[in-house]
Amino acid sequence: MPVTYKKTVAVLEGVCTVEEAEDLLIWLQNRPRAKVNLKRCTHLHAALLQVLMATGVPVSAWPEDPGLRVWLEVALSSHRCAGQGWEGGGQRGGPKKRAAMGPASGEGSASV
Amino acid sequence: MNPLLAEFITESRDLLEQASQGFLALEKTPGDAEILNGLFRAMHTIKGASGFFEIGALTRLVHAAEDVLDAVRQGELELTPDRVDLFFEALDRVGEWVDSLEAEERLPPEAEETSAGLAGRLRGLLSETNGRRPTGSGEAVAEKRGDEDAGSAPRMSEPAPSWIVEVPEDVRRELYGVGGEGGSRAVAVTYTPDEQCFFTGDDPFHTARQTPGIRWGRVETREPWPPAEELDPYRCVLRFRLVAAASVEEVREWFRYVAEQVEVHEIVPEKWGAPVGTPEDRALGAAVEILRAQIELLAAPWDPDIRLGVLESAAAVMESVLADLGNGSEVGRLAEARVAAQGQGSGEPLRGLALEILSRLLGSDGARQGEPGEWPSSQPRETARERSQQENGASPGQKIRVLKVDQTRVDALMDLVGELVVAKNALPFLARKAEEVFKVRDLAREIKNQHAVINRIAEELQGAVMQVRMVPVSHAFQRFPRLVRDLSRRLGKRVQLVMEGEETEADKNVVEDLVEPLVHLVRNSLDHGIESPEEREAAGKPSEGEIRLRAVQLDDRVWIEVIDDGRGMDPKALKRKAYEKGILSEERLETIADEEALHLIFAPGFSTAEQVSDVSGRGVGLDAVRAMVDRVGGSVNVESTMGRGTCIRMALPLSMAVTRVMIVEVGGETLGVPIENIVETVRVPTDEIHRIKCHEAVVLRDRLVPLCRLVRILDLDGDATGSGEEEAVLVVSIDGRELGLVVDRFHEGVDIILKPLEGIMAGFRLYAGTALLGDGRVLLVLNLRELVPCL
C-alpha cells in the first residue's frame, strides 16, 4: 500500500502511482485539516503531485529521498504565497531548494 | 510486489503485444516508417523501464532488438520472414521473463544465457547490413528526421527563457565551467506535458526528475488552482522547468516522446552563471535570497505553539538584512509589523513587508538585468501552442473523463444489484399476501405499482453496471494474427486470418475466458482444417486458406465463430475414432446422427489427427473449449461440410451475472432449467408416447425425441408412470441431441443470479447451482449435461 490513510494523516510510501490520485483527492477534500506524511516516499506520480499542490495540504514529514525533497519543498511550500499567480515568476525559491540537485541527477538515467 | 515492477510488467506486456502486431503489420507493408518507429519505440521503452530493475539479461536482449530495428529503420537491413522469426523469438523470451518476473520477481536462471545467445544472433544481423542507402520508405524516415532538425534549429538559437533568472546562484556557479572548451553544455528546458498525458501512462514528474544531467528543477501550475472540489486530478496542468548540464541533443533524446511538449534552450552559464557585479551586488543577492526564505517560512502553516517562535526569528532575520542593506528607514516598519504579527498570531504582516522590500530590491535587480548581453528579455514568451492549451484548459466542456476502476469494486456493485433484483422480486409476493391474507386490495395494488417502478430502476441499474464491465472482444482476438502466422509457417501452410466484429462487446470475464478456447479452436482449424497449399490447389481451392474469427451480438448472446475453408470433418471418421477410443458405445455408433457426431470432437480424450503434431492433437484441447463454454453458461455448435470447411460457433452470454431459467414443477419441487437449452415446451397426449423397449419416446415434427421422466431420475415423489391424459414435455437440446423432459407443470421464466453449489453440495454435479427466488425459496438449477449419463 503506497498510500495509507490514517485519521488525519495520509502516509505516502515508496512509489505512489497515478491510481492513488483520485482517492487521495477525495480523502483530502473530506478532511480540510489533514496532512500528508511523505517520509518514506521515493517518487510520486505527477497526478498526485498535482493534488498535493492544488489542495495545499500541509506536509507533516518531508521525504527522506533528497532528490524528491528538493522538488517537493519548492512545489509545496511556495504555491501558497503565490497569490500573484505562478506566471509572476521570479519571486520564489529559497535556500531549501538550493540543497543541490546533485542527488537527483545521481539517481541514474533510464535512457541507456 | 514493488508497484514500479508491477507497472513495468503490465506496460511491457502491452508493448510486447504492440510490437508483435507491429511485426505482423510490417510483413504486410514492409518498410512502413510509422510501424517501424512504433516498434522501435516499444523496444526502447521496455529497455528504458527495465533499467530500473536488476534484470540485465532482459535489458540487453531488448537493447539488441532495438539496435537492429534502428538499422532496419535506417534502411540498412531488410526484414525477411526469417529475421522476423528471430524477433518473435526474442519477444517471446521477453514475454516469458515478464511472466517470471510477475511470479517470482526475478528472471529464470537460464535467462542470462538465453539473452546472450539471442542478443548475439540479433546483433549478428547487423553484420548482414547491406549498406544500401535508404530506399523508399527509408528515405521518408530520413527526410522526416531532416525536417525535425531543420525545425528545431531556429529554436535553439532563440534566447534563453526569462525564468532562468530564478535559478539559484549556487546552481549557476556550479554550471559555470561545466562547458569546458567544447562550449556550453547547459540547457534550460520547459516541459509542458499534455493535459491528457496521465491517460497514456506518462508520469511527467518522473520524466522531469530523470532528465539527464539535471541540476535544478521546479514544477508549477499552468493555471490558478481551482478549489479542491473542482480539481480534476487526471488533467495535467503542470509545467516543469529545469536546468540540466547536458547537451541539447541529449535532452531532446530524453524527451523525444514528448518532443512537441518540450522547449529546449541552450544556455551559456558564463553569461548568467558568473558571479558578476560588485560586492554590493552580491550582498543584495544574498539579501534577496534570505528574504525569499522568510516569505516562504512565514507562508507555511505552523503549529500554534511554535508559530510565535517562527515569527520572532523571521523578524530578527529581516532586521539584520535591513541593517546589512543600510536601510534604516524600514526598521521602524518592521517593528510595527512584528507587533501586529504577534498580536494576530499570523505571519501575514511580516510577510507583506518582506514582499514589499523584496519587490523593491528586485526592481533594481531587474534594472540591472536589462544590461546588454546579461539577460534575455524578461517578457515571458508564450508560444501559440501554449496559449491555445490554456484556452482549451479554460473551456470546461472538453473534459474527457475516464476512470480506471478496480474490477472488484464493479463486482461488488454487481453483487449488490443482484441482491436488489432478488429483493425486488419479493414485492409481488408481498402484494399477493396483502390481498389474500390481509385482504387489503388497495395496498396490494399500490405495492404492485411500486414494484413496477423499482423493477424498472433495478433493470436499468443492472444494465448500467453490466455496461461498465463490457469490453470489446478484440481483447481476445488480438493475439491471433501472431498465432496464425507462427503456426502456419511452422506447418508449411498458407493461411490468411480474417477478423470480423472485433468491436462487439461482452462481459469482461467472458472475453477473458474466451482466449483459451479460441486458441484451441484456431489451432485445430489450422492443423486439421486447412490443407497444405498443394492439397488445396489439387482440390481447386486457392492455395491460401482462410480462417475467419467472427463475433456477432445476437440479443443477449454473443456468437463467436471460428470458420475455416479447409477440408471439413468426416462424421464417419469421427464416429469410428470415437468408437476406437471407447468414447462411443457400439450401440450409439449405429444410431448417432452425423450432426451429433461432429460434437464428438469435444469429448475428452478425442483426437482425430493420425499423428500427434506439436501444434494440436494431443488429445487435450477441444474438451477444454466445451468446459469453458459450459462454465459461462453458453453453448457450442459445430457445422462442417466435407471439402468446404468447418464452422464452430460458441454462443456465450453477454454477461454472466444474470441467468435466465425456466421454472418447472416436478413432483412438488420447483426446478430451474437454463433457457438456452430449451427448444420448446409441448403437451403430448399420453397415447402418442411410444415405447421402444424400455425407453419412452415421442415423435415431434418427424423427429424421434426420447423422453425422460424427471420424477424418476431425481427420485422424487410423484407419478412416474404417466397416467394422465397428456404430459408436459420440455424439449431440451444437449450438445445437439434433443431430449424430452417430462415434468408436472411449466412455470414462468425468471432472471436469477446463479450461485454455484458450495461445500459438500459442490459434488452434486446434477445441479448447476442455486438461486434465491423472490419469495425466499431456493431454486435448484439443473445441469442438463450431467443429466444425460443418468438416463
Query: CA of B250: how far to CAs of B158, B244, B262, in Å?
Result: 18, 10, 13
Q: Is B293 an interface residue toward A (CB < 8 Å)?
A: yes
Helix (H, G, I), strand (E, B) or coil at B579: helix
Q: Which residues of B, range 253-272, sit inside 8 Å of A by Cβ?
A: 253-254
- pLDDT for res B365: 44
Both B712 and B642 in one domain: the answer is no
Question: Which residues are B262's β-sheet partners?
Answer: B191
What's the distance, CA B741 to chain centroid? 45
Given a cut of 60, whether residue B380 has pLDDT beyond it is no
Q: Would you state the pLDDT for residue B550?
A: 92
pLDDT band, residue A42 (cuts 50/70/90): confident
Domain CATH for B33: 1.20.120.160
Q: B315 and B213 in one domain?
A: no
Q: State whether A101 and B214 contact (CB < 8 Å).
A: yes
Task: Tell me which of B607 and B109 has the higher pLDDT.
Answer: B109
Residue whose C-alpha cell reads 567544447 in the numeric block:
B182
B707 and B667 in a common domain: yes
Half-sphere exposure of A44 (CA within 13 A, CB side): 29
Higher pLDDT, B759 or A96: B759
Among the partner-chain residues B3, B216, B404, the one whose CB lies closest to the CB of A101 is B216
CB spacing of B198 vs A18 below 8 angstroms = yes
How many residue pairs bridge chain A and chain B with CB atoms within 8 Å of each other?
A: 185
CB of B301 within 8 Å of a chain A CB? The answer is yes
Residue A98 lies in a domain: yes
Q: Is residue B446 part of a domain?
A: yes
Measured CA to CA, the distance from residue B788 to residue B738 in angstroms comes to 11
Distance from CA of A7 to the nearest CA of B (A): 18
Least reliable range by pLDDT among A17-21, B191-195, B305-309, B473-477: B305-309
Worst-scoring range by mean pLDDT, A57-66, B137-146, B396-405? B137-146
Q: Are B565 and B589 in contact (CB under 8 A)?
A: no
Nearest-angstrom CA–CA distance, B276 and B53: 45
Interface test with B, best of A91, A96, A107 (most B CBs within 10 A): A91
Q: How far apart are CA A93 and CA A78, in angstroms?
A: 8
Whether residue B229 and residue A94 make contact (CB cut-off 8 A), yes or no, is no
Give how many domains chain B has, as a whole number: 6
Which of the given ranges, B76-85, B181-190, B262-271, has the highest pLDDT on average?
Answer: B76-85
- The secondary structure of residue B695, as a DSSP letter, is E
Residue A110 lies in a domain: no
Query: In whole angstroms, what is the distance from residue B405 CA to residue B353 CA?
Result: 49
HSE-up (13 A, CA, CB side) for residue B426: 9
pLDDT of residue B180: 46
Domain boundary among B620, B653, B686: B653
Same domain, B596 and B492: yes
Q: Do A55 and B253 touch (CB under 8 A)?
A: no
Burial of B306 (C-beta count, 10 Å sphere; 0-12/13-18/19+)? exposed
Is residue B392 one of the residues assigned to a domain? no
The pLDDT > 90 percentage for chain B reads 3
A78 touches chain B (CB under 8 A): yes
Higher pLDDT, B693 or B545: B545
Residue B240: give the domain boundaries: 158-272
Q: Which residues of A touch B224 (CB under 8 A)?
A: 85-86
Grid cell listed for A102: 546533485
Do residues B458 and B424 make contact, with C-beta atoms less than 8 angstroms apart? Answer: yes
pLDDT given at position B563: 92
Calculate mean pLDDT across residues B59-65.
86
Name the nearest CA neighbour of B527 among B560, B563, B488, B577.
B488
CA distance A91 to B362: 9
C-alpha to C-alpha distance for B166 and A92, rounded to whole angstroms: 7
pLDDT, one tens digit per residue, over B212-266 is: 888 888 888 888 888 877 888 888 888 888 888 888 888 888 888 787 788 888 7
* Residue B440 φ then ψ, to 5°: -110, 90
Residues pairing with B731 in the sheet? B680, B740
Q: Per the domain annotation, does B433 fall within a domain? A: yes
Residue A90 lies in a domain: yes
Nearest to B471 by CA among B502, B507, B500: B507
Mark which of B272, B288, B322 sits at the end of a domain: B272
Tell whether B367 is covered by a domain.
yes
Quick one: which of B634, B497, B643 has its CA closest to B570? B643
CA atoms within 13 A on the CB side of B736: 19
Structural domain boundaries enclosing A7: 3-102
**CATH number for position B595:** 3.30.565.10
Half-sphere exposure of B500 (CA within 13 A, CB side): 15
Looking at the complex, does the CB of residue B287 fall below 8 Å from at least one CB of chain A?
no
pLDDT tens for B473-489 read: 888 888 788 888 888 88
Whether A22 sits inside 8 A of B233 (CB atoms) is: yes
* Mean residue pLDDT across chain B: 77
**C-alpha cell read off for B660:** 435466465
Inside any domain, residue A112: no
- Within a domain: residue A79? yes
Q: Is there a single domain that holds both residue B202 and residue B309?
A: no
Does residue B301 lie within any of the structural domains?
yes
CA dist A33 and A36 (Å) reads 10
Residue B119 domain flag: yes
Q: Look at residue A108 and give its three-state secondary structure.
A: coil
Among A residues 15-44, those touching chain B with beta carbons less than 8 Å apart: 15-19, 21-22, 24-25, 28-29, 43-44
Asked whether the beta carbons of residue A21 and residue B233 sit closer than 8 angstroms, the reply is yes
- Please give the pLDDT value at position B386: 45
State how many domains chain A has.
1
B638-689 tens-digit pLDDT = 888 888 888 999 888 777 666 778 999 888 888 999 888 888 999 988 888 8
Q: What's B655's DSSP letter?
A: -
Phi and psi based region of residue B649 (left: phi greater than 0; alpha: psi -120 to 50; beta: remaining): beta
CA distance linking residue B600 with residue B735, whole number of Å: 9
Q: Is B273 on the interface with A (CB under 8 A)?
A: no
Whether the per-residue pLDDT at B381 is higher than 50: the answer is no
pLDDT of residue B270: 54
The C-alpha of A9 sits at a distance from chain B's nearest C-alpha, in angstroms, of 15
Q: In chain A, what percentage of residues exceed pLDDT 90?
A: 0
Q: How many CB atoms lie within 10 A of CB B375?
A: 18
A47 vs B contacts (CB less than 8 Å):
198, 233-234, 236
- Minimal C-alpha gap between A79 and chain B (Å): 8
A78·B296 Cβ contact <8 A: yes
Cβ–Cβ of B2/A15 closer than 8 Å? Answer: yes
In a shared domain, residues B604 and B491: yes
- Decide if B42 contacts B18 (C-beta within 8 A): yes
How far apart CA B507 and CA B157 sit, in angstroms, is 56
Interface residue of B210, B239, B389 to substitute, partner A, most A CBs within 10 Å: B210
- Candidates B487, B508, B323, B320; CA nearest to B414 is B508
3 state DSSP class of B236: coil
Determine the Cα–Cα distance for residues B358 and B6; give it in Å rounded to an integer. 48
Beta-bridge partners for B264? B189
Residues B233 and B301 in one domain: no
Residues B499 and B541 in one domain: yes
Residue A71 φ/ψ, nearest 5 degrees: -65, -50
Do B18 and B82 reside in the same domain of the chain?
Answer: yes
Residues B345 and B209 occupy one common structural domain: no
Q: For residue B91, give the DSSP letter.
A: H
CB contact under 8 A, A101 and B171: yes
Indicate the residue of B3, B163, B214 with minimum beta-carbon distance to A14: B3
Residue B561 and residue B543: Cα distance in Å, rounded? 23
Contact between B225 and A80 using a beta-carbon 8 Å cutoff = no
**Which among A22, A43, A75 is the nearest to B219, CB-wise?**
A75
Query: Residue B551 belongs to what H/E stretch?
Result: strand B545-554
Looking up residue A73, the CATH number of its domain turns out to be: 3.30.750
- For B53, residues 6+ apart whose C-beta sits below 8 A from its C-beta are B5, B8, B101
pLDDT score at B377: 38
- Pick from B47, B174, B221: CB nearest A86: B221
- Residue B134 is given by DSSP the state P
The 10 Å CB-count burial string (b at 16+, else e) for B418-440 is beebbebbebbebbeebbeeeee
Give which of A42, A23, A45, A43 is closest to A34, Cα–Cα.
Answer: A23
Mean pLDDT value of segment B129-147: 40
What was the ipTM of the complex prediction?
0.72
Could you tell me which chain A residue has the CA closest to the CA of B196? A47
Query: B220 and A75: CB-CB below 8 Å?
Result: yes
* Residue A67 forms contact with B (CB below 8 Å): yes
Residues for chain A: how many in total? Answer: 112
**Per-residue confidence band for B301, with pLDDT thresholds at 50, 70 and 90:** low
Q: Does some domain include residue A30?
A: yes
Indicate if B93 and B43 belong to the same structural domain: yes
CB contact under 8 A, A47 and B233: yes
In a domain, B95, yes or no: yes
Q: What is the CATH number of the domain that holds B200?
A: 3.30.70
* Shortest distance, CA B478 to any CA of chain A (angstroms): 26
Collapse the DSSP code of B754 into the 3-class scheme (helix H, G, I; strand E, B; otherwise coil) and give the result.
Answer: coil
pLDDT greater at residue B765 or residue A25: A25
Is residue B147 included in any domain, yes or no? no
Chain B: closest CA distance from residue A61 (Å): 13
d(CA B263, CA A46): 19
Would A52 be classed as within a structural domain?
yes
Last residue of a domain, one of B636, B653, B670: B653
Cα distances (Å, whole numbers) of residue B76 to B91, B132, B135: 22, 6, 9
Alpha-carbon gap: B67 to the closest alpha carbon of chain A (Å) = 12
CA dihedral A79, A83, A84, A89 (to 10 degrees): -20
> CB of B46 within 8 A of CB of B62?
yes
Which carries the bigger pLDDT value, residue B457 or residue B260? B457
Contacts of A111 in chain B (CB under 8 A): 48, 210, 212, 253-254
Cell of B77: 537491413
Is some CB atom of chain A closer than 8 A to the CB atom of B310? Answer: no
Q: Identify the residue with better confidence: B459 or B386.
A: B459
Query: In terms of domains, do B129 and B236 share one?
Result: no
What share of chain A has pLDDT > 70, as a percent? 67
**C-beta atoms of A93 and B48 within 8 A:** no
- Residue B714 DSSP class: T
3-state DSSP assignment of residue B406: coil
Q: Which helix (H) or strand (E) holds B588?
A: helix B586-591
**Taking a C-beta distance cutoff of 8 angstroms, is the pair B217, B242 a contact?**
yes
Q: What is the mean pLDDT of residues B295-318?
A: 73
pLDDT above 70 for B501: yes
- Burial (CB < 10 A; 0-12, 13-18, 19+), residue B577, is buried
Q: Do B166 and A90 touch (CB under 8 A)?
A: yes
Q: What are phi and psi of B327, to 5 degrees?
A: -105, 80
Average pLDDT over residues B506-535: 84
Instruction: Read off the pLDDT band of A100 (50, 70, 90).
Output: very low
β-bridge pairing B645-653 and B659-666: unpaired
